[in-house]
A and B are shown apart, each in its own frame.
Chain A
Amino acid sequence: MVESRDGIIGGAKPQPSPSIWLVEFQAILQGAVGGFLFGIPLLYTVEVWAIGAATGPRWLLTVLATTLLGVGLLTQVEGFRQSLRLHPVEALLESIEAVAIGVVCAALSLVLLRRITLATPLAEILGKVVFEAVPFALGVALARSTLHGKQGRNRRTTVPLARRLASPTLANLRDALIDFDAALIGAVLIAFSIAPTEEVPLLAASLPPLWLLLVMGASLGLSYAIVFASGFTDRAERRQRGLLFSPITETLVAYLVALLASMAMLVLFQQLNPSDPWSEWLSNVLVLGLPASIGGAAGRILI
């Protein structure tokens, strides 16, 4: 993606200085995206919930301090912001910010997956949030270096412009297919390590009725945010490729791809059998669909 000096995101045509809040919001969103990518696998780990629930406050502070230190070291190298040169004070502020974004994302995810409910004791909430915030915060710090698509990436299959103009729809269709291919690869990469574990049925069992709708909404929203709202992708390049599908359609189809991939993985690992009731299939596939759709979105901006 093209980065201009004055922090304009997007690059193709400089807009008349976007508001500072928008730039700030996008930077935070980019950080959050990195956090989710890095943090989701540990979010689906029963041991981390247990450790968090059984840890004393002193140790939690140690964990937080260690996280801050690790994030600080990463920030020295690569922050999640656009600026390249950092004053030490700025680096410290950015590290604190990264940990804060990690804590907020971890807390929201834990609430979404019902690991934190209104009935959870405060000590347990704190423990779970602090432990889950570790991978999230590291992911935030790494967001910029891991998630920016290579500048002027050369897709192996991208058609030369001349031919693209000659038969636009065919080239568009091919590009769209590559996108969904990338979504599939990303979904499998992230969700494959989660599919055979016990967390999927465990989480699915503990969701109250209609909570699955929230999980669906979060999957779609995160997928959309990663690809279209965070400014990671080069919009100009996407526009030039002439999107066959609108962003909304692409998000919906990519989510369906992620759900199909989740179902295939769960069947492969014998978590779902034909004899299981359909409601179990539905809840398990949707619960694994959350990390799969996040992975699918990452695949679409990276591959």
Chain B
Amino acid sequence: MTFAVASVILLGLVGLIFFDWQTNQNRPPAFAVAVSEAVRVTDGRYYVPFAITNTGGRIARMVQVTAELDIAGVDDETGEQQIDFLSGHETKAGSFVFSHDPQGGELTVRVASYRLP
């Protein structure tokens, strides 16, 4: 009885490993970055929240997210963020900080690079 229950649980784990292999591990990482409209202003600085999701299957390491703010007549502002681990379907969030209002210019946020583990 105990043996049966323990075996079923462990076989369930084995099944999950196979399922993970079938659904996730064959697909390379892919990224979707969402920049929130809700810009927060504190002490004259603009905080732009972003969320990055790994829409692929495999885990990615050292995911580098860069932001570039183009405002006419002002020097470009850039920001960079590195995320250590991002597994498949995982979402992590953060913020970029600018000293100019991002509404007044063009903000580009993209994933610049990542590393396979």
Residues of A within 8 A of B (CB): 201-202, 205-206, 208-210, 212-213, 216, 245-246, 248-249, 252-253, 255-256, 259, 275-280, 282, 286
In whole Å, how far is A296's beta carbon from the nearest beta carbon of chain B?
A: 14
Instruction: Please report which residues of chain B, range 1-31, place their CB below 8 angstroms from some CB of chain A when the two chains form the complex.
Output: 2-3, 6-7, 9-10, 13-14, 16-18, 20-21, 24-26
**A256 and B9 within 8 A (CB):** yes
Residues of A within 8 A of B59 (CB): 205, 280
Which of B39-47, B84-92, B94-102, B105-113 forms contacts with chain A? B84-92
Q: What are 21 contact pairs spanning A and B, CB under 8 A?
A: A205-B59, A205-B85, A209-B20, A209-B21, A209-B25, A216-B10, A216-B14, A245-B2, A245-B3, A249-B2, A252-B6, A252-B7, A252-B10, A253-B6, A256-B10, A277-B88, A277-B89, A278-B16, A280-B87, A280-B90, A282-B20
In whole Å, how far is A289's beta carbon from the nearest beta carbon of chain B?
A: 10
Which single member of B3, B14, B61 contacts A252 (CB below 8 Å)?
Answer: B3
What 12 additional pairs, Cβ within 8 angstroms, besides A216-B13, A255-B6?
A208-B25, A209-B25, A210-B18, A245-B2, A245-B3, A252-B3, A252-B10, A259-B13, A275-B90, A276-B87, A279-B88, A280-B59
- Nearest residue, chain B, Cβ from A285: B13
**A205 and B61 within 8 A (CB):** yes
- Nearest residue, chain A, Cβ from B60: A205
**Total residues of chain B contacting the partner, CB 8 A:** 25
The binding surface of chain A is classed by DSSP as helix
- Nearest residue, chain B, Cβ from A282: B16
Q: How far is the CA of A252 from the CA of B13 in the complex (A)?
A: 13
Tally of A-B Cβ pairs under 8 angstroms: 65
**B90 and A277 within 8 A (CB):** yes
Residues of B within 8 A of A (CB): 2-3, 6-7, 9-10, 13-14, 16-18, 20-21, 24-26, 59, 61, 85, 87-91, 117
Residues of B within 8 A of A276 (CB): 87, 90
Residues of B within 8 A of A216 (CB): 10, 13-14, 17
Q: A205-B85, A209-B21, A249-B6 are in contact. Are A275 and B91 (CB under 8 A)?
A: yes
Residues of A within 8 A of B2 (CB): 245, 249, 253
Residues of B within 8 A of A252 (CB): 3, 6-7, 10
Those 3 A-B pairs whose CB atoms lie nearest each other, nearest first? A209-B25, A252-B6, A209-B21
Which single member of B6, B14, B24, B26 contacts A213 (CB below 8 Å)?
Answer: B14
Q: How far is the CA of A300 from the CA of B14 in the complex (A)?
A: 25
